[in-house]
Each structure stands twice: as C-alpha cells, then as structure tokens.
A = this chain, B = another copy of it.
Amino acid sequence: MASPKDPVTEASAQKLRLSKEIVLAGALDLVDTEGLDALTMRRLGQELNCDPMSLYRYAENRAALLDGVSELVFNELEIFPHDPDWKAQLRRIAHDLRLLALRHPNVVPLLVTRPLSTPLGLRPLGTLRPLEQILSLLVDAGFEPTDALHVYRAYYGFLYGHILNELQEFIVDPEENEVLLRLGLHRLPAKDFPRLRALAPVLADYDGAAELDQGLTILLCGLESSLTQSVPSATD
C-alpha cells in the first residue's frame, strides 16, 4: 500500500539529480514569475522540491545565486563580434537587450546593481563577455582600443539608461482606462506638476523600441563622426 504521501501522486515530484544548471534555471523561473523577493532558499527548495540546504552545494551563497541568475540572462544575448557593419550590430544588440529586459523585468535590478558591489574583475564571466565582444567589434571596425572603450561606455550607458527608463514607466493597472489614474498620476498636486500631468496621454503610449532607435541614431551618428575624423594615429 502507498505511504500517506505517495511520491508518485505528487505530480512531477520525481526528484532527479540536482545540478547547477537546474538550480539556476529554477531560480530564474522563480524570479521571473514571482519577483526577486520570492527567491529565498526555502522557496527555491520547495520549487525544485529538495531541501533548501541542498542548494548550497551549487551556489555558495544567496548572492552567488543572484549572480548566477544574472549570468544566465546575459547568456541569452548573442553578439557577433566580427560583423563588419558595427553600427548595424550595435543596433541589433541594443534591441535584443531591450527585449531581454522586457522578458525578464524582475532581473533587471540585478543586472544593474550587482556590478556595483562587485569589482569588474570579480564578476561572473558571462557578465563580462558582452563587454569583451563589443570591444572586439569596435576595434575590428577601426577604433583605437582606447576609443573603443569610450564608445562602449557611451553606448552601454545609453542602453542601460533607456532600459531603466522604459521599465519605470510600466502601466500600473491596465484595466483602468483613465490615463491619469492608470499611471497613478492623479495623486500629484496639479499645481506643482503641471507638465507631467499634461503629458499623461503621451506617457501612456510609450513606444520603447522607437524611442530606443531614435536615441541610437543620434548616438551612433555622433560616434561615427568621432571615428572618421579621429585623431590620426601614429601607426596609421
């Protein structure tokens, strides 16, 4: 006869061997569906149905878990570091990263803040790979390495900024069809925030992709001019 809690009756309760991949995938899943706060050791254990303590075999810390999740997400980003058309490539990467962020909005705080507490060299390698590859791309395109770094910074800075901006302006309650309410703007004193309130309709239909592209055009334009009229290098 079956024990009171027959493991078979509990759907998907077959406990297969854990692995770093499984643990991280579970963690990402949990973060995606329930937010960062839901990612506790106990909760994740329950999700993978294993003992919370088992997890420590695959992630030293909770912090390491978070790093792992960041890395996992970054690995979804594909970069072709030898594309001769660097501008097109940067455009594509930007849009890909944007979509990535929209797919994993709850992870974005991680992507943005974890590096702040981890010195560059000690970050998970997956996190640094985009940097390296974009540098490659730019150097191949003819930038001096130093300039490539500067370009990278301008580019990535802009990109991060855009993503943060866009995610910030999520609609609160899509059911509500009065715009002021939908964005919670009705709470703002009309006297102090006339501009903001007046822009409610515009805020409501934010076309992130278009906005990103527009910004990219400005940026890439400026960057290119800095390439063509670059200081004549001694070796060139």
- A interface residues (Cβ-Cβ under 8 A, vs B): 105, 108-109, 112-113, 115-116, 119-122, 125, 128-129, 131-132, 135-136, 139, 145-146, 148-150, 153-154, 156-162, 164-165, 167-172, 180, 183-189, 192-196, 198-199, 202-203, 211, 214-215, 218-219, 221-223, 226
Cβ–Cβ contact A145 & B223, under 8 A: no
Instruction: List 5 tightest A-B contacts by C-beta distance, closest first.
Output: A121-B184, A157-B161, A218-B222, A161-B161, A135-B195
Selected A-B contacts with CB under 8 Å, 27 pairs:
A108-B116, A109-B109, A116-B167, A119-B170, A120-B184, A121-B180, A121-B183, A121-B186, A125-B192, A128-B193, A132-B194, A135-B195, A145-B198, A145-B199, A149-B199, A149-B203, A150-B214, A153-B162, A153-B211, A157-B164, A158-B215, A160-B161, A161-B162, A218-B218, A219-B219, A219-B222, A222-B222
Cβ–Cβ contact A165 & B157, under 8 A: yes
A interface: dominant SS: helix
Q: How far is the CA of A109 from the CA of B112 in the complex (A)?
A: 8
- Please give the count of copies of this chain that the complex contains: 2
A112: chain B residues within 8 A (beta carbon): 109, 112-113, 164
Q: How far is the CA of A196 from the CA of B154 in the complex (A)?
A: 16
Cβ–Cβ contact A196 & B132, under 8 A: yes
Separation in Å of the A102 CB from the closest CB of chain B?
Answer: 13
Q: How far is the CA of A189 from the CA of B187 in the complex (A)?
A: 53
Q: How far is the CA of A167 from the CA of B157 in the complex (A)?
A: 11
Known: A158-B158, A199-B145, A218-B154. A116 touches B192 (CB 8 A): no
Separation in Å of the A188 CB from the closest CB of chain B?
Answer: 6
Report which of B119, B146, B183, B215 forms a contact with A199, defined as CB distance below 8 A: B146
Cβ–Cβ contact A168 & B115, under 8 A: yes
A199: chain B residues within 8 A (beta carbon): 135, 145-146, 149
Known: A157-B164, A160-B161, A192-B132. A202 touches B146 (CB 8 A): yes
